[in-house]
Amino acid sequence: MKQLALDLTPAPSPTLENFVVGRNAELAQNLLLLGSGIARERFVYLWGVVGCGRSHLLKATVAAMRRAGSSAAYVACAPGVRLPEGAEGMDCVALDDVDTLAADQQLAAFHLYNALRERRCALLAAGAAPPVQLPLREDLVTRLSWGLVYQVHALTDEEKALALTDQAARRGFNLAPEVCDFLLTRGRRDMPSLLAMLDALDRYSLETKRPVTVPLVRDLLAEIQASGGI
């Protein structure tokens, strides 16, 4: 068996184009406008359950702004994490998991918000709950509530199946409903992992000259497990 078939393709870098929109059409459109530099509202807060795509969207918007020539930074908040040097002078800063900020980090985020607002620049933030439910200082909660606030809706199984079927068609093969069901009940269910498995199936199918069926998925998973891949 070729090693290539056993290596799950790394998840592609997050972009606004490869985000599976689902029920988040308005949010996705506003972030596209922000990424292209023509948004009227430059302060956006996202919230939702783990795996819903909020980190993807923050990273994707930062990447879009960088491609457009703006200075932008993504910060994965956690105890001890500091803002990047010169953050207050950037065009956009994205703060992920703001609900984890310690007291000194909250103060730094508060000053960052004010500095970016004064310069008419952008701040994106994301957390596990709406701003009013965050365990943060009141003045920071107020700032996070001033802009657009969106819940990022996780994809349903039906939406994931549609996305996988569409991606398979783009790769030139048919993904039968029973194969979708099998993928959604085995292993990781987040879209980056599912798309990586789809890429591996595409290669494995070509190498073995077999169609993508449930038996093929089983064989690939057995090969990956035997190699210590999962």
In a domain, 83, yes or no: yes
Q: Which helix (H) or strand (E) holds 217?
A: helix 214-226
In a domain, 1, yes or no: no
Whether 159 and 210 map to the same domain: the answer is: yes
CATH number for the domain harbouring residue 209: 1.10.8
Tell me how far CA of residue 66 lies from CA of 39, 69, 80, in angstroms.
15, 5, 26
Whether 159 and 129 map to the same domain: the answer is: no
In a domain, 4, yes or no: no
| Domain stops at, among 118, 151, 184 | 151
**DSSP 3-state of 150:** strand
In a domain, 3, yes or no: no
pTM of the model: 0.83
Between these two residues, 216 and 196, which has the higher pLDDT value?
A: 216
Q: Residue 154: which of 57, 52, 25 has the closest Cα?
A: 52
Q: What residues form DSSP beta bridges with 46?
A: 126, 150
Q: Which pLDDT tens digit goes with each residue over 114-126?
A: 999 999 999 999 9
Whether 32 and 115 map to the same domain: the answer is: yes
In a domain, 16, yes or no: no
Phi/psi of residue 23, nearest 5 degrees: -90, 20
Q: Which pLDDT tens digit goes with each residue over 32-87?
A: 999 988 888 999 999 999 889 999 999 999 999 999 999 999 999 999 999 999 99
* Domain of residue 99, residue span: 25-151
Contacts (Cβ under 8 Å, ≥6 apart) of 53: 19, 20, 24, 152, 154, 155, 191
